[in-house]
Structure 1
Amino acid sequence: MAHDTDTQPTSASPGPAPATEPIALPGTGDWLGWVAGRCEEQLAEARRQVDLVKTGPARAAEALAAWNRAETALANAEAVSLWSEVHPDAAVRDRADELSQDVQKYVTELGQDRDLFAVLDGLSASTDLAELDADARRVLEQTLRDFRRTGVDRDEATRERLRELSEQGVRLSQDFGRHIRDDVRSVRVAPERLVGLPDDYRAAHPADEDGLVTITTDYPDLVPFMTFGADGEARRELALAQNNVAWPANDQVLQDIFAVRRETAALLGYDSWPDYDTEVKMIGSGRAVADFIDRIGDAAAERAGQEVAVLLERKRLDVPTADTVTTYDSRYYSELVRREQYDVDGQVVRTYFPFEQVRQGLLDVTGRLFGLEWTPVDRAEAGTWHDDVATYDVGLDGRRIGRIHLDLHPREGKFKHAAQFDLVRGVAGRQLPEGVLVCNFARGLMEHDEVVTLFHEFGHLVHHVLGGQGEWIRFSGVATEWDFVEAPSQMLEEWAWDTDVLATFARNADGETIPADLVAAMRRADHFGKGLYAAQQMAYAARSYWFHARQHDDLTAYGDELQRRYSAFPPLEGAHMHCAFGHLDGYSSGYYTYMWSLVIAKDLFSAFDADDLFAADVATTYRDRVLAMGGRKDAADLVADFLGRPYSFDSWAAWLAE
């Protein structure tokens, strides 16, 4: 078993800081043993440090230092969940799931440890409290708040039930994710039904011995087919397959998850799970979420109606009797509208975005913007889990400040969407931040919206590394309120739309740079569909909120009702999309986060010069006042520190109307 280099000392004093080297991954070695060993070792270290806190160090600063070491070890142990999502060996994935249950069981136990709470609560009345700096006091304040949110001050019977619910919730969440991860569905169609698809796509999907072509619900198959496939019935078949992933298995799993959350909130004295969930978010209350959903839905309704009318008019050229535009029509006819009315052909656009060029271009752009250096690390040194993974050391001012791993192509048993996962959360002088970007892109040409997605997700990785340079693990990386975490990444998407930025890496096979007039047309075309996008996002957000706010016996029927209320597209008959809606687990009632964060992202971007997105003064200020701060301040204060004023809806409203 490989040993990591960041195990904390067991004395009350922090002692000399260990060397901040990346952790030693096993590469071709014993992953099963390494994953278990690291998790168990870090759990044991967390317990040792908690015991030190409970023995009552003489001063508040010493007690909080020990608590910081405990939380650091616990975060290292919690990172075991990464391996359940990315490791190619099913045995490692299953073992990681088991270990995650052990970790979460200890987290629950810790949150209800009345002796530990008494010690930490006593620090708030300590005579040496004034010696603590603002960050240390914020750590103490948030720690005590979190203890109360776990029910530490409830009676024994209530605490026991909360423990049971927590453990049940972990198992249900794992089941929910596993059902999605393992359920790749497909349709088989005759080759002639691939009409409209790019040549490279058709070449990659030859007919089998039965003369049929298999198209899966994995993104590299799904996205081009729904964008360019002219056969409407084939699109419907694939959309139905994709919207039935993990059904019926996850239908009951979700009901059980919602029941666990409702009971948990009630035991803790909250009116609903959304009220519990939003207490620690920018938005502040469950009612505010419902109001926000309606506010955005109302603002987008007129524009969405105009845009769907344009799509319907175009569809009637193909289907004269058509009276509606469906979800599986939306990408295809939006693409046709952009091609015919805005002179943007997605099949031409994609020729400028070969995957390898895009990946390097992304590194160059973010390096220039934030002053970062990306140094490739070969797999033998990095010890990664698959040949697909590309590893880079991250430098700033000639000093290594972290390491990233890019796992960007699909494979069996791997996480099916796009997300950034923590491998190590950084603590100054103790452990380097390491993050993993997990996506599912094709190896060849990329659609431009996939390029935008890659910029977005990479934004989380940059935030993780830059925010991982402080003293306190609690504030390390993407540690802000959860309804702010998308804002920096959504803002970074703007660089994937800029003519000068794209000119640095977007080139076709002949070496020709993407023309400026094409990028300008792409930008104009991108304005089409904003109302539809906002309306559909509110349909998803409404599911997320109302599934949690009230009990519903038939999730499909109620989800369809919300789709009709908020979206311009009718529900897909026979579909059960909630079963594969992974955000119902991680974001729970808070999917509104994406649009809430977009409101703030548009406001943040207003500070940049649209004619010079690499201007060093504003980029450096943003890096240092927002990204590098991690969770050291409330998100509203971070935004105000950067903008010089509180955030507002004005930039978002102007964008919607543009």
Structure 2
Amino acid sequence: MTLEPLALPVTDDATTWSDWVQDRATTELDSARRLVEEVRTASTQDAVAVLRKWDAAALHLGNAAAMGSLIGNVHPDQQVRDLADAAEQDAQKLATEWSLDRGLYDVFAALDGDGLDPLAARLLEKVRKDFRRSGVDKDEPTRNRISAIRQRITELDQEFSKVTRDDVRSIRVAPERLEGMPADWLEAHPAEEDGLVTVTTDYPDAVPTRMFARDQDVRRDMSVAFLQRGWPTTEPLLQELFALRHELATTVGFPDWPSYDADVKMIGEGDAIPEFIDKITAAAQEPMERDLGLLLDRYRRDFPDAERIEPYDAIHYQELVRQERYDVDAQKVRTYFPFPKVRQGLLEVTGRLFGLRYEQVDVPVWHEEVTAYDVFRAEGEESLGRIYLDLHPREGKYKHAAQFTLADGVEGIQNPEGVLVCNFSRGLMEHDHVTTLFHEFGHLIHHVLGGHSAWARFAGVATEWDFVEAPSQMLEEWAWDPDVLRTFASNEAGEPIPVELVEAMRRSDDYGKGIYARTQMFYASMSYWFHRDAAEPGGPRDLTERMIELQEKYAALPYLEGTHMFASFGHLGGYSSAYYTYMWSLVIAKDMFSAFDEDDLFDPEVAGRYRDRVLARGGEADAADLVADFLGRPYSFDSYAAWLAR
């Protein structure tokens, strides 16, 4: 049976899009409500039929929520974004109503799970746990309070996202102060009528400015502007968010939010999070000291009396170390990565690796720069799903890099559809951004390949949240292989990137990973302790003060006076207390990559086994079991430790 993809509006008219958003949300939520009413009256003797209706209702609810989240972050028109945000809120509100409905819980509590196949039994177990975690067993006033908390959390999360999305700052700079910037960047940034150049805090401006500008004051001004985004607007939003999450967790029986959140993750317990952070911090101590020693030696050639590297100079001088010690000039590297070639190369590499092909389709999208592709098995004619690539910055758009769901896939019902939302240059790309593109595409592949389960609950990226990043982090390895890169990375003359340059890039990438690991642990510590502090008498502390304490304890680089990095740290929304998951996933990613032969990264046996036993399974089994099935053993810390010490 051919499943038709979702049809988006054929015009960019805001009114038409507004109507479509409202119609889509209304239709999906009405379908969800109808199915749940059928669940209430279904015979508890037929557990599979009840589970099927509930799962279908969840699929419709997810369709509304996913559409709202995506369109609220990407549509060019503010009115449409606001309506999409409202649709997402409506979906979350309905989900909360269900989770606190004692009558619904009683239906699932009464189901006879004997004789269910393994996936149906897994679903029943998870549904029952969802209800228990929701507080369904509390009295009516308490359930009403939980409902109000959840609604307000959704509103705060959306407002936080909106502020960080819309708060684009800028500095104005005389052209002569931009010495060192790439030629293509300078060409795209001419002086305005007053003779000054506007440089924004969007990534295609902020990253090269902090990396290449030779004027220290320009680097400082850009760093300050970048690290002040969201301030002071988001601090009260975050304080309220942390307090409400704590109240929710304690109301349903947990000591704090991290404990509640970790209960459904691989890590299991909230107290294990700081233990993991400290484990990585200790492992990264020696590599960090080595990295900082090289960095400070280079810095003192320009500032002989320096006792430390200034935070606004760190990126610039790390680049100089790479140039001088490893003979890697990022500006030269950029010339091999024009965006169109990188995008096409990404599709060719992942197609070859996973046995897929992508066919670009001319269909309606929300912005003219978005491209759409249907995904097929390399030898098949039946579509596996549709992907959209929205890869350049614009006003009102999500400011980071992420994969958004448009539709989860369920076998025989609807195909998966996913969207990459990034903010890359339209011209030459830094190699770091190339690896980011591969990383985010890893989520998209996981979403598509895992979108063919019989159950919506297990569709796509439906594993424990602290495994979610592992497949994406592993796919970054293909963006570092010389033979892989030479298939698409070439300069204006058509010359492929030299093997020697890629090998030097890899050596230079080893430099700095101690700094990177400790920076990640600083972020993870904020994510955890901001939430854990809400359990202390008096609630959360001043966030800037607490951030500075954690930066001094965990980070490799010092605090930049007058900045408030947490105010635009978007992961405090969706990831809440679990930013540790990036490094947790990296430990697993390094171990999974050890199964591949670095001399043959496209070995069809290994790649096929990984595709079929990890990605295509979605959430059909616990992540540790999926990985063990692929590796033939439980995952270990050894590969990560060896990589960090290398």
Q: Which residue of 1 is the match for residue 64 of structure 2? A: 77
CA distance in 2, matches of 1:173, 1:568: 29
Give distance in 2, aligned partners of 1:274 and 1:287: 8
Paired with 2:155 and 2:445, the residues of 1 have a C-alpha distance of 31
Alignment of 1:336-485 (within 5 A): 336-378=320-362, 382-396=363-377, 397-398=379-380, 399-485=382-468
For 2:491, the equivalent position in structure 1 comes to: 508
Residue aligned with 1:436, SS: strand
Conservation of the 8 A alpha-carbon contact between 1:311 and 1:325:
yes
After superposition, the C-alpha distances for 1:49-92 in whole angstroms (9 at most, x for unaligned) are 10111112351111111111111111111112111100011110
The equivalent of 1:646 in structure 2 is 634
Partner of 1:593: 581
Structure 1 residue 275 corresponds to structure 2 residue 259: yes
Deviation at 1:321, TM superposition (A): 2.4
Task: Give the Å deviation of 1:608.
Answer: 0.2
Q: Quick one: distance in 2 between partners of 1:638 and 1:177?
A: 33
Aligned residues with identical type, % of pairs: 59
8 Å Cα contact 2:338-2:429 kept in structure 1: yes
| Segment of structure 1 superposing worse, 480-489 or 229-238 | 229-238
The structure 1 segments of at least 4 consecutive aligned residues displaced by more than 4 Å after TM superposition are none
Aligned with 1:444: secondary structure?
Answer: coil
Distance 1:449 1:302 in 2: 24
Instruction: Indicate the residue corresponding to 1:302 in structure 2.
Output: 286
Deviation at 1:195, TM superposition (A): 1.3
Aligned-pair CA distance for 1:131: 3.2
Mapped pair 1:104 → 2:126: no
Gaps in structure 1 of 5+ consecutive residues: 1-16
What do residues 558-600 of structure 1 show as CA deviations (whole Å, max 9, x unaligned)? 1011001011211110001111000001100000011000000
Which residue identity does 1:191 align to in structure 2? Answer: P
Aligned residues: 634
1:115 maps to which residue?
Answer: 103
The question of 1:564 aligning with 2:549 is answered no
1:548 partner letter? H
Return the offset for 1:553: 2.3
Cα distance in 2 between the residues matched to 1:97 and 1:89: 12
Structure 2 equivalent of residue 288 of structure 1: 272
Match for 1:515: what amino acid? P
SS of aligned partner of 1:130: coil
Q: TM-score scaled by structure 2?
A: 0.97
2:203 equivalent to 1:219? yes
Matched, 1:517 2:500: yes
Cα offsets for 1:152-210 (capped at 9, x unmatched)? 01111211110110111111111101111111000111112111111111111111222
- Listed as ranges, the gaps of 5+ residues in structure 2 are 535-539
Match for residue 137 of structure 2 among 153, 157, 173: 153
Q: How many angstroms does 1:320 deviate by?
A: 2.0
Please show how residues 16-95 of structure 1 align to structure 2 within 5 Å: 19-28=2-11, 30-57=16-43, 58-79=45-66, 80-95=68-83
Equivalent residue in structure 2 for 1:176, among 148, 160, 171: 160
Contact conserved, 2:533 with 2:541, CA < 8 A, in 1? no
**Aligned-residue offset at 1:328:** 2.1
Asked if 1:611 corresponds to 2:595, the answer is no
CA distance, structure 1, for counterparts of residue 276 and residue 48 of structure 2: 41
Q: Following the alignment from structure 2 to structure 1, what is the Cα–Cα distance between the partners of residues 33 and 115?
A: 27
Q: Quick check: 1:173–1:585 contact (8 Å CA) kept in 2?
A: yes
Residue type of the partner of 2:417?
A: E
Distance in 1 between residues matched to 2:238 and 2:148, nearest whole Å: 17
Asked whether the 8 Å contact 1:27–1:385 carries over to 2, the reply is no
8 Å Cα contact 2:359-2:374 kept in structure 1: yes
Note the C-alpha offset of 1:27.
2.7
Find the residue that maps to 1:241 and give its secondary structure.
helix
User: Within 2, Cα distance between the matches of 1:154 and 1:329?
Assistant: 54
* Residue identity opposite 2:54 in structure 1: W
AA aligned opposite 1:21: E
How far 1:539 sits from its partner (Å)? 0.4
Q: Does the 8 A contact of 2:35 with 2:57 survive in 1?
A: yes
> How does the TM-score come out when normalised to structure 1?
0.95
- The two structures, once aligned, show a CA RMSD in angstroms of 1.0
**C-alpha displacement of 1:130:** 3.2
Partner letter of residue 73 of structure 1? H
Indicate the residue corresponding to 1:549 in structure 2: 532
C-alpha deviations, 1:235-291, integer Å up to 9, x for none?
111111111111100011000000100101110111110000000000111110010
3-state DSSP of counterpart to 2:385:
strand
User: What per-residue deviation string (whole Å, max 9, x for no partner) do you get for residues 378-432 of structure 1?
Assistant: 1xxx211111100000001312110000000000000000000000000001101
Question: What is the one-letter code of the residue matched to 1:278?
Answer: A
1:536 maps to 2:519: yes
The alignment partner of 1:632 has SS state of: coil
Give the superposition deviation at 1:315.
1.1
In 2, the alpha carbon distance for the partners of 1:327 and 1:506 equals: 32
Q: Out of 617, 620, 623, which is 1:632 matched to?
A: 620
* Aligned-partner residue type, residue 46 of structure 2: R
